[in-house]
Amino acid sequence: MGVIKTNHELMADVLRFYDQDEDDQTVKRLDSPLGSFTTTYIYNSPEFIIRDYAYSFAQDITLAYKTATKNYIQIAFFLNQHVLKDRINNKCNNYLPQHNYIYFTPSESDVEIFFEKNIAYRNFDIYVESDYFHQFIAETQLVDSFIDEVDQNNFVRLVEAGIPLSSQMLHILQEMKSYSKTGILRQYFMKGRIMILLQLLFESINHENKQMDTESCYREADANVFYAIQDFITQNTREFYTIEQLAIKFGINQYKLKKGFKEISGMGLFQFATKVHIQKAISLLKTTDLSIKEIAFRTGYSSPSSFSVAFKKQCGVAPIQLRKKSEALLTPRGLSVKQTESLKDRAYLQSD
């Protein structure tokens, strides 16, 4: 009768399995009560280690261990369809499917990786000796801060959000896995492909950074346009302007205008314009003797009835009721409301 191992002992077996070194093009498999684990040993040299992992667990499990004494920068391609999560030196990290992560884990780090049962995990990992990585990116300003953290022996990821995998990257990974030649030809092939992968990854990062800078400039420029439109609407209350008219006048895309104006103002264009027009109408009701009909036309409404409906919806009372209430009020000094209510307009509108 065989000895039944505990989960702790089974996990120790899995860690020993992953800690093995084998010849290039060797495929090793471990079947355990914890799950199934396959490692393809693609390339091994003092500067680079390349391995392809495929595995699944039979139960939800946390794999906990300390990293080895050798310092590597890891270029990890997550090829599964599920998010992987871990905790390294108490920092929680997510790894998105079909993304690459370049990161450094110092020796003797505390690592916990959280696996879900019956999930097919797969990742293609390239371990680069840290000094060699330094040589390669010595002229690359993009990763200066990353290297600074590596030099301080801190866990760090080059791009926290990860780098989406392209079809070209995936094709290169498949080439590396299927390459069959040995000796010096294999060495040159693998190093060459790693250089191409790093080039593609850095180009992707650089492109993303430039795009973010461009979008930031656009956002600032658009915000100035939205503020100009606000001022234009406030200064021109005799007419309601459509989104199309404003887009043409200010040279901006209608969709961008509609969406961006709401983000800047906290309300849609029509809602903002209605509030401004009604504010103007309140001022005219309290400070002039103009008829309701004339005020309606002066604030962009086609008829007194449409004006009254909009006014009541905005203020809770009809225009005529507001005027009567204002005219009935006298100040303590006996002055008419038209001489004093203008000072109260702002407080009234702010409470609206």
- The tens-digit pLDDT sequence of the chain (352 residues) is 456 888 888 999 999 999 888 999 999 999 999 999 999 999 999 889 999 999 999 999 999 988 876 778 999 999 988 899 999 999 999 999 999 999 999 888 999 999 999 999 999 999 988 777 776 665 555 677 788 888 888 899 988 889 999 999 999 999 999 999 999 999 999 999 998 998 898 888 887 776 666 555 556 667 888 889 999 999 999 999 998 899 899 988 887 888 888 887 888 899 999 999 999 999 999 889 899 999 999 999 989 999 999 999 989 899 998 888 777 653 443 334 443 443 344 333 333 4
**Alpha-carbon gap, residue 153 to 298, rounded angstroms:** 70
- Domain(s) labelled CATH 1.10.10.60 in the chain stretch across 269-351
Amino acid at 339: Q
- Domain(s) labelled CATH 2.60.120.10 in the chain stretch across 7-165
Q: Are 97 and 82 in contact (CB under 8 A)?
A: yes
Q: What are phi and psi of 336, to 5 degrees?
A: -70, 155
Query: Which option is the CATH number for 7-165: 2.60.120.10, 1.10.10.10, 2.40.30.170, 1.10.540.10?
Result: 2.60.120.10
Torsion angle, alpha carbons of 59, 65, 67, 73, to 10: 30
Q: Does domain 269-351 correspond to CATH entry 2.60.40.1930?
A: no
**pTM of the complete model:** 0.61
In the chain, beta strands by DSSP E = 26-32, 35-44, 48-57, 61-66, 72-78, 84-88, 91-95, 99-104, 110-115, 121-129, 156-157, 163-164
